[in-house]
Amino acid sequence: MINFSLPASDSFAALEMAARDRILILDGAMGTMIQELNMSEEDFTAGGHIHGPGCRHHASDHPQKGNNDLLVLTQPKAVEDVQFQFARAGADILETNTFSSTTIAQADYGLEGAVHDLNVAGAQVARRAADRAQAEDGRRRFVAGAVGPTNRTASISPDVNDPGYRAVTFDDLRLAYGQQIDGLIEGGSDLILIETIFDTLNAKAAIFAALESFAKVGRRLPIMISGTITDASGRTLSGQTPTAFWHSVRHARPFTVGLNCALGADAMRPHLAELAGVAETRVCAYPNAGLPNAFGQYDEQPEDTAAKVEVFAKEGLVNVVGGCCGTTPEHIRAIADHVAAYAPRKPRMTANV
Ligand SMILES: [Zn+2]
């Protein structure tokens, strides 16, 4: 099934080379930055003029405020500016604003039909930010096509009275992810980032879909895989420890495996150490700026987040670091400064994964 004989994309060698010398920097949170802009329903829909790169028109009778992914079509400049700020702050890897751009997640907004355009445009917008930053300082930036977990889990029943029920199947997810990843590649993504994984079965469907998409275009892109620990006992929502998680995804031969979001950097450290102890590839970590306060805002200051992320680097646990919810360009700048002096983790690479 997995065709590792496909030629690797040119971003593969460039990323591997960059990761050999230093800890790479991933960008911060788009959601928090968008919230600051206080956009209205009118802003979210560009006054009802939602169209994709091919001028295809999209309409929905659902309210769109809060559908952050839609902004790549309706406010592309705002999204590009945030990504450009992150690149200038030191990010090597810019995430596309496509976390929820699957038919499954967009069903909440009645915009399933816009999914292809959301992903193509999402990658194009990030590509522009990356190219602008590179033109300014000569350093290559990579576009990571961001694939979120969707709002449905394939492993766990949402109905306590019917534990066998599933709101989504592996094949539903595989098809939805495939459509998303095809668009991300078409729009110019350098790699695919499968993130905030709380259900490993969802992630396996995304990996399967990525490999199918690579076969279609005849080249292999690097894959980054990032799980999230949802409770203090150190398990994902579908009940896995970091070690079990690694063994469930290692067949994809990811460029990185890691953790993001959730409980903040302090709580992440022991789980990251466990993952770094078993993973035969590079390790990536991008925690939240602490836990949100009662108003859902993140109070942790850039220097505080950066000092905690520095501990990961000092202990030799990481190859890529960045920020998740609540992290701003200032957080990313501080993180980049704090880890610059440390060597990247030396992964044990096994040829026969
Ligand atoms: Zn997050």
Gap between the Cα atoms of 320 and 335, Å rounded: 11
Per-residue pLDDT, 352: 44
Expressed in angstroms and rounded, the spacing between residue 343 Cα and the centre of ligand 1 is 26
Gap between the Cα atoms of 213 and 202, Å rounded: 16
Gap between the Cα atoms of 353 and 195, Å rounded: 21
- Cβ atoms of residues 186 and 145 within 8 Å: no
- Cβ atoms of residues 329 and 292 within 8 Å: no
Per-residue pLDDT, 350: 63
Buried b (16+ CB within 10 A) or exposed e, 162-175: eeeebebeeebbbb
Expressed in angstroms and rounded, the spacing between residue 7 Cα and the centre of ligand 1 is 33
- Cβ atoms of residues 278 and 227 within 8 Å: no
Gap between the Cα atoms of 182 and 214, Å rounded: 8
Q: Which residues surround ligand 1, an ion (CB under 5 A)?
A: 261, 324-325
Q: Is 325 a known ligand-binding residue?
A: yes
Expressed in angstroms and rounded, the spacing between residue 30 Cα and the centre of ligand 1 is 10
* pTM recorded for the entire structure: 0.94
Per-residue pLDDT, 351: 47
Q: How confident is the chain (353 residues) per 10-residue block, as mean pLDDT?
A: 79 94 96 92 93 87 95 97 98 97 95 97 98 97 95 78 82 96 98 92 94 96 93 70 93 96 90 95 96 88 97 98 97 98 88 45
Gap between the Cα atoms of 233 and 231, Å rounded: 6
Per-residue pLDDT, 156: 77
**In terms of Cα–Cα distance, which of 272, 274, 268, 253 is closest to 318?**
272
Q: Is 324 a known ligand-binding residue?
A: yes
Q: At what angle do helices 302-314 and 329-339 cross, to 10 degrees?
A: 30
**In terms of Cα–Cα distance, which of 281, 280, 278, 305 is closest to 291?**
305
